[in-house]
C-alpha cells in the first residue's frame, strides 16, 4: 500500500503563491513613454508581447508542476510491502573454532574426498549456523590467541562467511582454549537471560598457549551461567606412508578429552567426540535439540522509499525551465 511519511509537508504547497501575493513588490525605476510614429510597429510589438505572455504562462505551469513534485518528494512517499513474520530473539550462541596447526591434518572425508579438519568443520558448522533462525550467532577464532571474528548478530549469512574465510594459522599455530572461553564470557556477560547463553567450543588439541588456563575460563563461565558444549575433533586412526611402508597412527593423540569433558560438565554442557564427518553432523543436530530456537515471531512490513521518482522528475522540469529561459 502507498503512503506518505510526512503528510504535513503538503501545507507548503501554496508557499510560492503566498510569497507572490503578500511579499513587498520590487520597486522599479520610473519609465518614460516613447513616441513611435508608425502604427505597424505597434502591431508588431503587440504580437511579440502576446508570444512573451504565452511563453511566460507555460513556464509558470512547468515551474508549478516542479514545485508540486518537489513537495511530494519531501513528504517521503513510500510503498509498504506485505507483512512478514520473523523469529524473535532466541539464544545467544558463540562458536569458538580452533585454527591451530593440527587442524590441517587430512583425516576427514567430505563428499568422497579426504579433507583437513578445518574444511570439514566449516561445512558442518556452516549448516548449523544457517539453521539457527531467531538466534544471535557470534564467532571466535583461536590459535595462539583468541579473536572475536564476528560479534553476536542475527545476520547468519555474514557470520558463516567469516567462518568460511578463516584459515589455519590465522590466529597462530598453538591452542589457547582458556582464552577462547574467557573471550566468550567477556562478550556474553552483560546479557540478561543467562539461561540462553551458549558456547560451542571445537578443538583437536590441548591447551598450549594463552593467558587464561581452561580452569580459569570455566570459573568465569560459571559466574555468568554460560553453558559450554565441547567438541573434540579428529580421527582415532589414520594410514600414513613412511620409509618403512604404510603405518597406522593416531592423529588425535594430543587431544585432551579429559579437559574437554571437565569443561562441559562444570558448565552444564556436554562433551562430544567427532571421529569423522558423520559424527560431527550428528553432534550439531543434537545441539539443535538441546538448545531449540525460540518460535515466537515478530511482524514487520518492508518499506520501499519512492521519493527519488518525483524528485528526479522535478529536477528535469526545473532544468527544462532554466534552459528555455536562457534561450530567451
Question: In which band, very low, low, confident or very high, does the pLDDT at 20 lie, cut at 50, 70 and 90?
Answer: confident
Cα 256 vs. chain centroid, distance in angstroms? 37
Question: Which homologous superfamily is 86-298 in?
Answer: von Willebrand factor, type A domain (3.40.50.410)
- pLDDT of residue 35 exceeding 60, the answer is no
If one compares 54 and 250, the residue with the highest pLDDT of the two is: 54
DSSP annotation of 289: H
Query: How far is C-alpha 92 from the geometric centre of its chain's CA atoms?
Result: 17
DSSP state of 68: H
Measure the CA–CA gap between 6 and 125, rounded to whole angstroms.
46
Nearest to 254 by CA among 308, 173, 194, 188: 173
Residues 180-186: what's their mean pLDDT?
93
pLDDT digits (tens, 9 = 90+) for 196-232: 788 999 998 889 888 999 999 999 999 998 999 999 8
Summarised one tens digit per residue, pLDDT across range 252-279 is 677 888 999 999 999 999 999 888 788 8
As a whole number of angstroms, the distance between CA 40 and CA 51 comes to: 17
pLDDT of residue 241: 60
DSSP state of 98: E
pLDDT band at 96 (very low <50, low <70, confident <90, very high): very high
Q: Is the pLDDT of residue 59 over 80?
A: no
Q: Does the pLDDT value for residue 88 go beyond 70?
A: no
DSSP for residue 307: T
pLDDT number for residue 36: 44
Query: Is the pTM above the cut of 0.95?
Result: no
Amino acid at each position: 500500500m502507498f503512503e506518505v511519511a510526512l503528510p504535513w509537508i503538503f501545507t507548503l504547497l501554496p508557499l510560492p503563491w503566498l510569497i507572490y501575493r503578500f511579499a513587498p513588490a520590487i520597486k522599479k525605476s520610473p519609465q518614460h513613454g516613447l513616441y513611435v510614429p508608425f502604427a505597424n510597429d505597434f502591431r508588431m510589438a503587440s504580437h511579440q508581447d502576446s508570444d512573451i505572455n504565452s511563453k511566460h504562462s507555460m513556464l509558470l505551469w512547468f515551474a508549478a508542476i516542479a514545485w508540486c513534485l518537489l513537495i511530494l518528494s519531501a513528504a517521503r512517499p513510500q510503498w509498504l510491502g506485505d507483512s512478514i513474520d520473523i523469529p524473535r530473539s532466541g539464544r545467544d550462541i558463540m562458536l569458538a573454532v580452533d585454527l591451530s596447526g593440527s587442524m590441517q591434518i587430512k583425516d576427514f572425508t567430505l563428499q568422497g574426498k579426504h579433507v583437513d579438519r578445518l574444511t570439514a568443520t566449516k561445512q558442518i558448522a556452516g549448516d548449523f549456523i544457517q539453521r539457527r533462525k531467531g538466534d544471535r550467532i557470534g564467532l571466535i577464532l583461536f590459535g595462539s590467541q583468541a579473536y572475536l571474528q564476528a560479534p553476536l548478530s542475527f545476520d547468519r549469512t555474514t557470520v558463516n562467511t567469516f567462518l568460511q574465510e578463516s584459515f589455519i594459522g590465522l590466529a597462530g599455530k598453538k591452542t589457547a582454549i582458556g582464552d577462547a572461553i574467557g573471550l566468550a564470557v567477556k562478550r556474553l556477560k552483560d546479557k540478561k537471560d543467562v539461561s540462553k547463553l551458549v558456547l560451542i567450543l571445537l578443538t583437536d588439541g590441548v591447551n598450549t598457549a594463552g593467558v587464561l588456563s581452561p580452569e580459569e575460563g570455566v570459573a568465569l563461565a560459571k559466574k555468568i551461567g554460560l553453558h559450554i558444549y565441547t567438541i573434540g575433533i579428529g580421527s582415532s586412526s589414520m594410514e600414513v606412508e613412511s620409509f618403512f611402508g604404510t603405518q597406522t597412527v593416531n592423529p588425535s593423540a594430543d587431544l585432551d578429552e579429559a579437559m574437554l569433558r571437565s569443561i562441559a560438565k562444570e558448565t552444564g554442557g556436554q562433551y562430544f567426540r567427532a571421529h569423522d564427518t558423520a559424527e560431527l553432523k550428528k553432534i550439531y543436530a543434537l545441539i539443535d535439540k538441546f538448545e531449540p530456537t525460540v518460535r515466537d515471531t515478530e511482524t514487520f512490513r518492508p518499506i520501499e522509499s519512492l521519493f527519488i521518482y518525483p524528485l528526479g522528475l522535478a529536477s528535469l522540469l526545473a532544468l527544462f525551465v532554466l534552459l528555455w529561459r536562457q534561450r530567451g
